[in-house]
Structure formats: structure tokens, C-alpha cells
Amino acid sequence: MPSYTYHYFDLRGKGETCRLCFVAAGVPFEDHRIDRAAWPGEYKAESPFGQLPYLEIDGKKFAQSGAIASYISREHGLYGTSSLEALSIDGVVGLAADYFTLWRAAHFEKDSDKRIDLQLKLNNVDLPNLLGILEKILAGNDSGYYFGNQLTLADLSVYDILENSYRDFSNIYSSYPKVVENRKKVAALPRIAEYLSKRKETEI
């Protein structure tokens, strides 16, 4: 098996889905967590695109969180059982990424009035729209997973991206029971449950 070293900040952010993929697949990896204060120096110069995260595979460096998560999933059984299923998985992963972009804009907006407006739209429009789509997908699959009969990148990506909204606005989720059950199903998987029990709590 290749040697994996994963480089990212000591938070969830854009990089946690990749960690969850490794954990869910039971694949050993070195989780190199970089302090933000140390990043602008040698660490940034060593990264392939001047960005985090990146993954080293037997010493060779590869960038971009989405590409890394897709690679891990393809290599280790988290990408469905057909090209069409993989296409569906990619669609949900992209949908979750779109929501994360909106969440990040609302969370980090510096203008306080604009931040309030963005957060109101996020919670009253964007999040319910996303949850409605996800609920409908889950309703069409009896397994409790988004696609097929086993865990895929779609489940892990959604679980990760919705972490903050589920923590902070759990009341919104009462209208989307299948999404909630999927979250519980993912979190209860033995490898994931062990990882989550030891994971450092971070704001993002």
C-alpha cells in the first residue's frame, strides 16, 4: 500500500472530508496538521500550489481537496459500483461544495450588516433548499445512504459540510428526517465513531 501523508491546518475547513475518507476506508495515513502561524514560511513554499491541503503519496505531492477526496474514494471503495453511480456521487459532492462556498461567505463577511443578510439567506433559503434536495435523494434509496447499499464519498462529504449548520441550527433539520438519519448512520460507523470521539473540537 502507498505511504500517505496528508497536510492541512489543524481544523476541519476544506480538508476534513479527505480525512474522513481515509478513516472510513481504514487506510493508514499521517495526518500532518500545520499551525496557521507557521504556514506562510517554509510550509507554503513546499506545497505544490501554494495552498492547503495537499497529499503526499510515496513522497510525491498532489493538491486540491476535491481531487484528493475523489482519489481516495476511487482507490478504496467509496465511489460506488458503476460510472453512473460515481456521476451521481460527484453531483452531491458538488452540491455540498456549493453550499460550503455560501456558508463561508456568510461566516467570514467583514461587513456586519451584509454578514447578517447573508446568514439569514443561508439559513432561510440556501440550507432548506439543500436539505430538500438531499431528503429527496435519500427517499429514493432504502439503504439510508445517498447511493447504493454502502457508504460513499457523497455521505462523507455531506456529513462534513453540514457539521456547523447541524450543530448551530439543528431545529432546521426537523423537517428533513432522512438527512438526520443519514448523519447518525455515518457517525455510528465504527471507524468514524472512533475518529469522531477523539477528534479535536474546532470552530470550522
CATH number at 111 reads 1.20.1050.10
Name the pLDDT band for 58 (thresholds 50, 70, 90).
very high
What the block records as the C-alpha cell of 197 is 470521539
Task: Tell me the pairing of strands 60-63 and 54-57.
Answer: antiparallel
Does residue 104 share a domain with residue 61?
no
What the block records as the C-alpha cell of 52 is 492547503
Does residue 138 share a domain with residue 107?
yes
Does residue 61 share a domain with residue 89?
no
Does residue 149 share a domain with residue 121?
yes
Residue 41 has pLDDT above 90, yes or no: no
Residue 146 has pLDDT above 90, yes or no: yes
Asked, for residue 199, whether it belongs to a domain, the answer is no
Which of 77, 101, 136 is the last residue in one of the domains?
A: 77
Asked, for residue 130, whether it belongs to a domain, the answer is yes
Q: Measured between alpha carbons, how far is 43 from 85 in angstroms, rounded to an integer?
A: 37
Q: Measured between alpha carbons, how far is 36 from 8 in angstroms, rounded to an integer?
A: 10
pLDDT at 81: 96
Give me the chain's average pLDDT, please: 96
Asked, for residue 200, whether it belongs to a domain, the answer is no
Return left, alpha or beta for 26; rule: phi > 0 is left, psi -120 to 50 is alpha, else beta. left
Which of 58, 77, 96 is the last residue in one of the domains?
A: 77
**Domain membership of residue 156 as a residue range:** 83-189
Does residue 119 share a domain with residue 55?
no
Which of 28, 52, 77 is the last residue in one of the domains?
A: 77
Return left, alpha or beta for 58; rule: phi > 0 is left, psi -120 to 50 is alpha, else beta. left
Residue 1 has pLDDT above 90, yes or no: no
Does residue 89 share a domain with residue 70?
no
Question: What's the average model confidence in pLDDT over 120-141?
Answer: 97
Q: Measured between alpha carbons, how far is 126 from 151 in angstroms, rounded to an integer?
A: 25
Specify the pTM: 0.96
Does residue 92 share a domain with residue 39?
no
Question: What's the average model confidence in pLDDT over 75-91?
Answer: 97
Question: What's the average model confidence in pLDDT over 1-14?
Answer: 96
Does residue 136 share a domain with residue 114?
yes
User: DSSP 3-state assignment of 56?
Assistant: strand
Cβ atoms of 157 and 92 closer than 8 Å: yes
Does residue 59 share a domain with residue 94?
no
Residue 164: how many CA atoms within 13 Å on its side-chain side? 21
Number of domains making up the chain: 2
Residue 203 has pLDDT above 90, yes or no: no
| 6: DSSP letter | E
Q: Cβ neighbours of residue 201 under 8 Å, at least 6 residues apart? A: none
